[in-house]
Amino acid sequence: MIDEIESISHPSKRKGRKVFPALCSMLGTLILLGVIAAFLPLTVPRLMGYGIYEVVSGSMEPEIPVGSVIYVKAAQPDTVEAGDIIAFYKDESVITHRVEENRYVEGEFITKGDANREEDMEPVPYNSVIGKVERHIPALGIVLTLLASNTGKLYAVLLAVCGVMFHMLAGILRNRERD
């Protein structure tokens, strides 16, 4: 009875009890959505058949700056033309260069980095090609590399747990208000 009289005489106290659980719930939702959004550039393209790589050298600048992420789609060698950008394996590294010439008979590409003065010394055999670069996003590679690391995954899990805990706190506060 006294609580009812207090809530009628002090409506701002009653509102404060509803605002804090709503804020906790909203903050928890924003944290969870942030964690999900951070991993979308890593997961959705892979589901669509793209390989994802970070550019670590400046051989394709200014077209593709260092720190960019590239999305590579498998392609048949006969569909690759001069001017296309391809990703390929060379000595256990992934290289991204522009095709200067497709030598169909020899089964190889002549490539060159945009920032390089001369063509690459060795032709790229068809069996070394990963695919064509379909898209690139500057600076996203640095973020994705961090997220893909064990430390980044740990932070993502901890943030997700915080988001869930904010939702739990909001539920507890709402239940206390009802009692």
- HEC string for 75-123: CCHHHCCCCCEEEEEECCEEEEEEEEEEECCCCEEEEECCCCCCCCCCC
Note the pTM of the prediction, 2 decimals.
Answer: 0.71
Distance CA 94, CA 129 (A): 9
93 catalytic per annotation: no
Per-10-residue mean pLDDT of the chain, 179 residues long, equals 49 63 91 88 85 91 92 93 94 93 92 93 94 91 83 91 92 81
Q: Which of 57, 68, 128, 149 is the catalytic position?
A: 57
Q: Are strands 93-103 and 85-90 parallel, antiparallel or unpaired?
A: antiparallel
pLDDT of residue 177: 74
* Cα-to-chain-centroid distance, residue 157: 16
Per-residue model confidence (pLDDT) at position 141 = 83
CA atoms within 13 A on the CB side of 76: 2
- At residue 147, the pLDDT reads 82
| β-bridge pairing 50-54 and 108-112 | unpaired
For residue 13, the model assigns a pLDDT of 52
The DSSP secondary-structure symbol of 72 reads E
**Structure confidence at residue 19 (pLDDT):** 86
CA separation for the pair 52, 136 (Å, rounded):
10
Q: Please count the other Cβ atoms lying within 10 Å of the Cβ belonging to residue 136.
A: 20
Predicted local distance difference test score (pLDDT) of residue 33: 93
Tell me what pLDDT residue 106 has.
Answer: 92
